[in-house]
Each structure stands twice: as C-alpha cells, then as structure tokens.
Amino acid sequence: MNREIATRRPLVLVFGGLDPSGAGLQADIETCFALGCHALPIATANTIQSTVQLRSVEGIRPELILQQARHLFRDIGPVGACKIGVLPNAETVEAVVEIIRPWSAQIPVILDPVDTASSGGCLVTRAASAAMRKLLLPLVTLVKPNSFEARTLTGAAALAHAGNELSRATRRGALLTGTDDAHDSYVRHQLYCDGELHSEYRWPKIPGEFHGTGCTLTSAIAALMAQGTTLNCAVATGLSYTWRTVCHAYSIGGRQMIPDRSSAHEHN
C-alpha cells in the first residue's frame, strides 16, 4: 500500500458478499461512511437474495479476490482497519488470509463469521468454517458471532465455553451477540477477552425482523477502531449505533426491515 498518500477519511478494507436487498457490502459501505470512514469493498460472493429469502450464493473466484486487493493496494494510502464478512468456501478463506496476513498484526481486523443469512439459508460450507477456525481466527482482533455461529465455530453447547474458546483463539476477543437468542424484553451481548467474560451489554428488544444488523455492527466497530477508538469503546459505541439504526429501520420489501444507517448517526 502507498504509505505517502494522505486521505480525508480513514480507510476500512471490507470483504463481503453482494446482496441486492441491502445487507453485505452495501451495509458495510453505508456504515463506514456514516461513521466518518471510506470503505474499500472487495466482493467475496454474489447472492440471489431478498428481504424474504436467500435463494443461492456463489463465491467469487479466489484469484479475482486476490487481484482486487493487489491492484487496489498499489494505489491507496494506509488502511486503518479491516472488516471481514461472508466467506462462502475454504478457498475464499485462504485468499483472504493471504491478503491480510502481512499486516494483520498492525491494524484492527474484525470478523463477522456469517453462517446463515438473516432471511434464512446457509451462506458457507463446513470446510469454510473449519478453515476460518484454523487459519483466520488467529489473525483477527475481534470475532463477532451470534449464539448459533459461536456454537458452530466451537462445537460448544454452552455459550460461555464458546465465548471463552473464541476469545483465546483471536488476538483480542469475541463479541457474542444475542439477537438470535433473546427470550425476554432485552437482548444481551457479551464481550469475552483472554478467555474470560469482560463486559455484558443489554439493549431493549425491538419487535420485528431486520436485515444486515451483523454487517452494520462489525463495520461500525471497524470504522471506529480505524479512527483510534479502543476495542472496548468501539464495541459499546458500535452496539449503540446499531441499535439506533434498527430503531429507525424502514421497509423495502415483504419481510425484513432495513436498518437506517444514516439517520441513526444524525440522532446520536
């Protein structure tokens, strides 16, 4: 990357899937911009998807992913953070690992280990999950699974065990979100660091179904950390921002609402 170029906005490298209904890379770009950063989107998959259903997902050829990154890096200034979304197969995981390994220890890397689309349907193979555990987790600063994804990644039945294991596998920690496991009027999120529960966050549960909240949260954390915010503060602020996007969500189709990532920042 060209280290002599000064940019007005911190740069956030984002890997994710193209979702015509508004999650994935679109959510990443909108969130980074709303929080003062410029997103550098690298497509890892194409999806046939709506607010109602995921029909199919097709991975981008690993060679094309590598070419996207290498050509970009010859031109841009320093990247402040990296956010990783859907990686549909093991070959995609390996390509992303090859791209980020040289500098992953110098910048925050936030992983959203997307397994299943919020509208339903599996996005990744078992081999991709295994490659994520073995190759990618040791390179990331923070991994943000929901409760289902945490159990899938670790095989642990108890969420506490999954959180402990995932936090030890990463450079800094694991944020377990509870939107898929809420049983009362509150949603609980837990941040694990170094094998222990570090912080717990409770937010009022908002009725309805929403599309792209995981992308929004992880991109928000990456954007905040690209600007020098500490991990703990980025997690707390990112959760607050994401909750507000859901409060102002709007409808474009027949089922899931779209978080409003611009008005949420204006109401901060």
Domain span at residue 78 reads: 11-263
pTM for the structure as a whole: 0.93
> Model confidence at 5, in pLDDT bands (50, 70, 90)?
low
CA 24, distance to chain mean position in Å, is 9
Considering the domain boundaries, does residue 143 fall inside one?
yes
C-alpha separations of 232 from 74, 129, 235 in Å: 33, 26, 5
Considering the domain boundaries, does residue 242 fall inside one?
yes
Considering the domain boundaries, does residue 112 fall inside one?
yes
Domain count, the chain: 1
Considering the domain boundaries, does residue 200 fall inside one?
yes
* Token representation of residue 163: 């959180």
Considering the domain boundaries, does residue 123 fall inside one?
yes
Largest CA distance in the chain: 52
Considering the domain boundaries, does residue 115 fall inside one?
yes
Q: Sign of the C-alpha dihedral, residues 174, 11, 16, 69? A: negative
pLDDT digits (tens, 9 = 90+) for 237-254: 999 999 999 999 999 998
Considering the domain boundaries, does residue 118 fall inside one?
yes
CATH code: domain of residue 155:
3.40.1190.20
pLDDT of residue 268: 47
Considering the domain boundaries, does residue 1 fall inside one?
no
pLDDT digits (tens, 9 = 90+) for 80-119: 999 999 999 999 999 999 999 999 999 999 999 987 655 5
DSSP 145-192: -BHHHHHHHH--SSHHHHHHHHHHHSSSEEEEB-TTS--SSEEEEEEE
